[in-house]
Amino acid sequence: MAPVEERKRPASPVLDEQSEAKKHQDTPKPAKAQKAPKVNRRRYRIKAPEPTSPLGVLQHEIEEILESHGLTKQLISNDMTRLLNDQEVEDRFHRQVSGVKILKLLSNGDGVAVIPHPEDESKRQICIVPFGLPGDVGVIKVFKTHPLYVESDLLDITEKSSYRKDELINCKYFGKCSGCQYQNVDYEQQLVFKRQTIENAFKFFAPKLSAANILPAIGNTQESPLQYTYRTKLTPHFNLPYRKGGHQLEYKPNLGFGAKGRPTWRKDMHIGSGSIIDIEECSIGTEIINIGMKNEKQRFERDFKNYRKGATILLREDTELSTGDLTKPGSTNEKGEKSTIEVTINDTKLTKSCVTDPRQIVTEYVNGFRFEFSGGEFFQNNNSILPIVTDYVRSNLSIPNSQPGEPNFLVDAYCGSGLFSITCSGDVSKVVGVEVSADSVKFAERNAKSNNIENATFIVGKAEKIFGNIDTPADRTSVILDPPRKGCDDVFLNQLSEYHPAKIVYISCNVHSQARDIDWFINETKNGGEYVVESIKGFDFFPQTHHVESVAVLRRK
Ligand SMILES: C[S@@+](CC[C@H](N)C(=O)[O-])C[C@H]1O[C@@H](n2cnc3c(N)ncnc32)[C@H](O)[C@@H]1O
């Protein structure tokens, strides 16, 4: 293959907030009169966030709010060095405010409001209010200040949003646990919020495609068949305080999930105020995962004194045919017996158990295919939606204007243990999967074999290197991309463009990096301009949370 032109995306834009804060740090020092005692002034350290990380996305969302309220960055910027060095200023800033109206939702599911500045009547603050819904009016407490926004806890709701249906809440920890954001929103409305998240992602991160008005309308978000009890993996964790001399801990630390501040708006909720909430059960986890949680919690109550530092506990659902190997280790109850449950799906009896060892082999069934993978490696977490997603991806691989009998090929970049390679193998002549984890490739090969798939091969390596090994004709090849949250890098996108496949199906758990990659691929790579974005559609892998998976289909014009 000819050498690929190395074009690079520009580095992260320098944040205005950085220069703003730097300005405050650089204020001239007063002229030396007499030697004053040295005061150690604390400086605000600024890290430029990765543009498509939650903090990077927030920069765009703040800009949009400012624009819609006729505000400028100067009107909302906070002098962080003063705040860090003057207790009085800090007290003024960290305060209770009433009558705060939530204006909109951020892509991370938090509400956002504009509140008065505590020092200057002409200024305002952008205030993030977790668990606030657009239209809610309430009392908040500001507890942390940043250069361009403040964080708060929702203390009370005085006027309810029309979206708010608190009677739908299914979990006693909702409203404090950082896991779910939307339990009190109709499921149909959750799907609408997620479509809006994708629309915003393309507006913010695909500015050229948006300005050219050539993106398709974002499709309706595909619902998940299960809206609770769907998560096949949970990872509760605990922290241990530092103990001088390694003294044993006398009290049991909380084991569960992170708390989202200290909100008090749910008057029927009485749980402690630690940074980790002690969780007994999680309503989005599957039944066997919750049984595993109960077992591991009991074990932790007995063993916590033996731990020297905090840890995360793996809970991963394992599904075996009831006639299969049931001797595998799994979470055990207090009598030392392995916990299992029996379910029947389409007349097939299955036994479910909960794996806690990251090195143990886990089994899952998707669309009649059997998958094995290491408990600690990546596998999708909502089994109920996987048949729908894999069918959708498969149906979008077909090459336009194909004649009957013409061969077609599939390259599955970032293939993991072969989920898409295997479920889509029936429709193509040959599949090549590539994956950086040698362990996952080992399982992809094993999964192809155990499912009697003979047209799939797998390569251990970086997706960026794959095109040197691909010999299938590009105009008969579709490429699946399913990268981690950070998306694809420039080297990969340049190579993909050079290879010039007939179809690209880009699956992503971070719609922001997906939008950025598609904009860059089409506008900045050699052959990118020859592609059209055929469709973009969200899939709700994580009901009750703000997360959305997005599938974008690109084809050569
Ligand atoms: C979101 S997962 C998708 C896996 C698979 N498609 C599935 O659905 O099960 C992303 C995968 O990309 C792999 N990965 C990360 N960086 C990579 C790279 N540079 N080249 C190839 N694979 C990579 C990870 O190990 C992980 O298995």
Question: What is the token pair recorded at 491?
Answer: 């080297």
**CA of 484 relative to ligand 1 center, distance in Å:** 6
Q: Are 347 and 441 members of one domain?
A: no
Tell me the per-residue pLDDT of 384-403, one tens digit each, with 9 for 90 and over.
Answer: 999 999 999 999 999 988 88
DSSP H or E stretch at residue 524 = helix 511-524
What would the mean pLDDT of 1-26 be, rounded to a whole number? Answer: 46
Question: Scanning the structure block, which residue is given the tokens 């009485």?
Answer: 270
In the reported structure, the alpha carbon of residue 417 is separated from the centroid of ligand 1 by a whole-number distance in angstroms of 9
For atom 16 of ligand 1, the residue with the nearest CA is: 436
| Claim to verify: residue 59 and residue 77 sit in the same structural domain | yes
d(CA 555, CA 557): 6
Answer yes or no: do 48 and 148 share one domain: yes
Nearest atom in ligand 1 to the alpha carbon of residue 463 is 20
Query: Does residue 347 register a pLDDT over 90?
Result: no
Residue 246: which pLDDT band, with cuts at 50, 70 and 90? low
Q: Are residues 115 and 64 in the same domain?
A: yes
430 shares a domain with 525: yes
At 11 the pLDDT is: 53
How far, in Å, from the CA of 105 to the mean position of ligand 1? 30
At residue 18 the predicted structure's pLDDT band, cuts being 50, 70 and 90, is: very low
Q: Is residue 401 part of a domain?
A: yes
**Does residue 503 have a pLDDT over 70?**
yes
CATH number, domain at 78?
2.40.50.140
**3-state class (DSSP) for residue 459:** strand
Q: What is the C-alpha to C-alpha distance for residues 362 and 23, in angstroms, rounded to an integer?
A: 54
- What is the number of the ligand 1 atom nearest to the C-alpha of 434? 21
Exposed / middle / buried, residue 303 (Cβ in 10 Å: 0-12, 13-18, 19+):
exposed
Say if residue 414 carries a ligand binding annotation. Answer: yes
Mutate which of 374, 435, 480 for ligand 1? The one with the most ligand atoms within 8 Å of its CB, which is 435
Q: Which residue has the least CA distance to atom 4 on ligand 1?
A: 416
DSSP, collapsed to helix, strand or coil, labels residue 93 as helix
Residue minimizing CA distance to atom 8 of ligand 1: 419
The pocket around ligand 1, CB under 6 angstroms, is made up of 378-380, 414-416, 419-420, 434-437, 440, 462-463, 482-484
* CA separation, residue 168 to residues 171, 303, 309, 432 (Å): 9, 37, 38, 45
Q: How far apart are CA 161 and CA 157, in angstroms?
A: 9
Other CB atoms within 10 A of residue 404 CB:
4
pLDDT at residue 25, rounded to an integer: 45
Residue-level pLDDT at 73: 92
Distance CA 177, CA 169 (A): 13
CATH of the domain at 198: 3.40.50.150
**Cα 346 from chain centroid (whole Å):** 32
Which residue owns the Cα nearest ligand 1 atom 13? Answer: 414
* CB 349, CB 326: distance < 8 Å: no
Number of domains in the chain: 3
Consult the annotation and say whether 173 binds a ligand: no
> Please, what is the angle between helix 511-524 and helix 490-499, to 10°?
50
Residue 360 lies in a domain: yes
pLDDT of res. 457: 96
Query: Is the predicted pLDDT of residue 12 greater than 50, yes or no?
Result: no
User: pLDDT averaged over the chain?
Assistant: 91
User: Does residue 354 carry a catalytic annotation?
Assistant: no
Q: Which atom number of ligand 1 is nearest to the Cα of residue 437?
A: 25
Read off the pLDDT band of 10 (50, 70, 90). Answer: low
Please report whether residue 501 resides in a domain.
yes
Q: Is residue 255 part of a domain?
A: yes
For ligand 1, mutation pick of 378, 505, 510 (most atoms within 8 Å of CB): 378
Say what percent of the chain tops pLDDT 90: 78
Are the CB atoms for 181 and 110 separated by under 8 Å? yes
- Determine, yes or no, domain membership for 35: no
* Bridging pattern class, strands 237-238 and 311-312: antiparallel
Say yes or no: 453 and 476 in one domain.
yes
* Co-location of 443 and 521 in the same domain: yes
Its ipTM equals 0.98
Confidence of residue 9 (pLDDT cuts 50, 70, 90): low
Nearest ligand 1 atom, CA 412: 6
Structural domain ending residue among the three candidates 345, 374, 403? 374
Query: What is the side-by-side order of every strand in the sheet holding 96-101?
Result: 96-101, 137-145, 150-159, 124-129, 111-116, 104-105
pLDDT tens track for 279-300: 999 999 999 999 999 999 999 9
Using the predicted structure, report yes or no on whether residue 4 has a pLDDT greater than 60: no
Choose the catalytic residue: 171, 354, 488, 509: 509
Q: How does pLDDT run across 514-537, given as a tens digit for each residue?
A: 999 999 999 999 999 999 999 999
Domain-located, residue 28: no
Residue 508 forms beta bridges with which residues?
A: 550
CA–centroid distance, 412 to ligand 1, in Å, is 10
Whether residue 274 sits in one domain with residue 127: no
What is the pLDDT averaged over residues 18-42?
59
Cα–Cα dist 79/56, whole Å: 20
Q: CA torsion sign, 217 to 222 to 228 to 232?
A: negative
In a domain, 20, yes or no: no
The domain boundary, picked from 113, 128, 163, lies at: 163
Instruction: Examine the domain organization and report whether 126 and 199 are in the same domain.
Output: no
Distance 401 CA to ligand 1 centre (A): 31
14 backbone dihedrals φ, ψ, rounded to 5°: -70, 130
Per-residue pLDDT of 295-324, as tens digits, reads 999 999 998 888 888 999 999 999 999 887
Q: Would the pLDDT of 434 be above 90?
A: yes
Stretch among 24-33, 454-463, 490-499 having the lowest mean pLDDT: 24-33
459 domain-assigned: yes
Ligand 1 center from residue 442 Cα (angstroms) = 14
Indicate the residue among 325, 348, 374 that finishes a domain: 374
Q: Same domain, yes or no, for 522 and 416?
A: yes
Nearest atom (ligand 1) to Cα of 509: 1
Q: How far is the CA of 144 from the centre of ligand 1 (A)?
A: 36
Mind listing the pLDDT tens digit for each residue in 55-95?
A: 999 999 999 999 999 999 999 999 898 899 988 988 999 99
Strand segments (E) across 64-162 = 96-101, 104-105, 111-116, 124-129, 137-145, 150-159
Which of 436, 489, 551 is the pocket-test mutation for ligand 1 (most atoms within 8 Å of CB)? 436
Mutational test site, ligand 1, from 392, 397, 414, 470, max ligand atoms within 8 Å of CB: 414
Residue 163 is encoded by which pair of tokens?
């979206």
In this structure, the residue with its CA closest to atom 12 of ligand 1 is 414
**The pLDDT of residue 271:** 77
Does 335 lie in the same domain as 423?
A: no
pLDDT of 45? 82
Domain enclosing residue 537, as ranges: 188-227+383-556
Q: Tell me, what's the pLDDT at 8?
A: 63
Residues 204 and 251 in one domain: no
Question: How far is ligand 1, taken at its centre, from the CA of residue 121, in Å?
Answer: 51
DSSP 226: -
pLDDT in the model for residue 345: 84
